[in-house]
Structure 1
Amino acid sequence: MYTAYILHIVHLNGWIFTYLPWVMYLMPYLPNNLRVTSPVP
């Protein structure tokens, strides 16, 4: 029960730490419409 929850949190953290630096790095180069509709806040 708790194992699935922990794995879910680890998976979310892995996604965030993997893609967030790239999103922040590429944000100035993205078009305005793509920047607005980005799923990452």
Structure 2
Amino acid sequence: LKRCGKSCRLRWLNYLRPDIKRGNITRDEEELIIRLHKLLGN
């Protein structure tokens, strides 16, 4: 089964993980990311 990167991405987003939130992140989410980055690093 051969798939290009684009078709793999679309399959992942639409079929395997349809619950992924799309759109902008909230202020709370941004603050959480910053706190976790300070704690854990990259």
TM-score (norm 1): 0.37
TM-score (norm 2): 0.37
Which one scores higher on RCO, CA 8 angstroms, separation ≥ 6? Answer: 1
Higher helix share: 1
